[in-house]
Amino acid sequence: MARTLFRNASVVFPDQIRIASVLVEDGRILDPDAGHVNADETVACDGLHLMPGVIDDQVHFREPGLEHKEDLAAASRACAAGGVTSFLEMPNTKPPAVTLEGVRAKESLAAQKSLVNYGFYIGATPDNAAELAAATDVPGIKIFIGSSTGNLLVDVQAALERIFAETTLPICAHCEDETTVRANAERLQGTTDIADHSRIRDRQAAVISTRRAIDLATRHQHRFHVLHVSTADELPLIRDARPWVTAEVCPHHLFFNVDDYPRLGSRVQMNPSIKTAEDNAALFDALLDGTVQVIATDHAPHTLEEKSQPYPASPSGLPAVENSLALMLDQVTQDRCTLQQVASWMCDAPARVWGIVGKGRIQTGYDADLVLVDLQREKTIHDAEQWTKSKWSPWDGVTLRGWPVATYLAGRKVFDADQGMDESVRGGKLKFDHSRGGFWNTPDGIGVG
């Protein structure tokens, strides 16, 4: 059982940041405040912060079926480079993961290819409630209450009622009202103006659908997570729905708005669409006041060739996993938030929402999924240097201060900013324990197993 000592780091604990030496043994944190002890390997951390590995609970890694856009190997490299040690992947692959057998097939692919830890949602369809009710050992159920591919759109009320009433796994949803979106699209039929994307997928589409989903969750007393909140108007609905509801926001909804369409075009075309600068500010404030608990990316790459098609042929989605932590570290260096808050939003909270055992904190017994961070390091994002298979970023040309410099999986270094990637590392399937009650019932962390 090899021991590694992370010596003299500024350790990001849940309640404070202080200089400590963290001792890791056999992939787990043996002592988060070990002092000077013997170890097989010592990592000098002077001047660096040590934080838990990021858990990105909303990604689209495109495998199987769409590997020309992204695949598990490339996406997991991007994760490691960005300090993301665990991901939860959405079901809209080809074929979609709408059965437990389909989820297990994706887990088998990840076991062979992924450099970081993984979990896969099971997708809802209008008629698979029985399959969802029988599913176990997955993070949760994903519903598309809004446009999707194949048979993943669930918009009929009776089907939604059955899913919320007859299943027990936590549910998350893409919330955009299909009727509103279609009516707006009809009104703007023939448009080639990319800015019309935010008029078609307008704030009312988001608000109507989020209200509908929260009503289902509260009536059925079913744990529900609102994905990628994009408007200020959704926030009061979320705030009033505790303890059944949690929510998340994505970097593109924090940092991009409709004023960016002339500069970035389809690079910032997303579902839900980007909104206004006022929404940006309200969403950031909602993180700070606890209305929104999680930051995730909705990493959804397409090729630049696909994205360069004239609107509306251009697809929605952008890559973000390798830059999300740096984007938030840059906010720390600007004093908009603290590193403890970032660790809460990106590490601890997603572990608690989805019952991911042994993840999200630097604490005795937790897994040694760790990230060394240099808050003084400056780097400019460039398309060509991205690890994602799509090889582009909407933040191309942006210089950020504060970057992950080394990522560790179960105490083993998978990425070094100067030395590159260790391709021999493989992540493992995440362990989910939904009996621990989710975010609102685990203020002291999800715990270990």
Residue 148 pLDDT greater than 90, yes or no? no
Average pLDDT over residues 273-295: 98
Residue 182 pLDDT greater than 80, yes or no? yes
Position 146 scores a pLDDT of 76
Average pLDDT over residues 310-315: 97
Question: Pairing state of beta strands 122-123 and 171-175?
Answer: unpaired
Position 36 scores a pLDDT of 85
CB neighbour list of residue 131: distance below 8 Å, 6 or more residues apart: 98, 99, 100, 122
Computed over every residue of the chain, the mean pLDDT equals: 97
Position 449 scores a pLDDT of 87
pLDDT tens-digit readout, 298-311: 999 999 999 999 99
Determine the Cα–Cα distance for residues 361 and 194; give it in Å rounded to an integer: 41
Average pLDDT over residues 403-418: 98
pLDDT band (50, 70, 90) for residue 186? very high
Helix (H) or strand (E) holding 179: helix 178-187
Determine the Cα–Cα distance for residues 257 and 266; give it in Å rounded to an integer: 12
Residue 295 pLDDT greater than 90, yes or no? yes
pLDDT tens-digit readout, 56-101: 999 999 999 999 999 999 999 999 999 999 999 999 999 999 999 9
pLDDT tens-digit readout, 94-130: 999 999 999 999 999 999 999 999 999 999 999 999 9
Evaluate whether 61 touches 77 at the Cβ level (below 8 Å). no
pTM (two decimals): 0.98
Position 35 scores a pLDDT of 85
Residue 149 pLDDT greater than 70, yes or no? no
Position 369 scores a pLDDT of 98
pLDDT band (50, 70, 90) for residue 175? very high
Evaluate whether 319 touches 334 at the Cβ level (below 8 Å). no
Evaluate whether 304 touches 69 at the Cβ level (below 8 Å). no
CATH topology of domain 53-360: TIM Barrel (3.20.20)
Residue 195 pLDDT greater than 70, yes or no? yes
pLDDT band (50, 70, 90) for residue 147? low
Evaluate whether 242 touches 218 at the Cβ level (below 8 Å). no
Average pLDDT over residues 213-240: 98
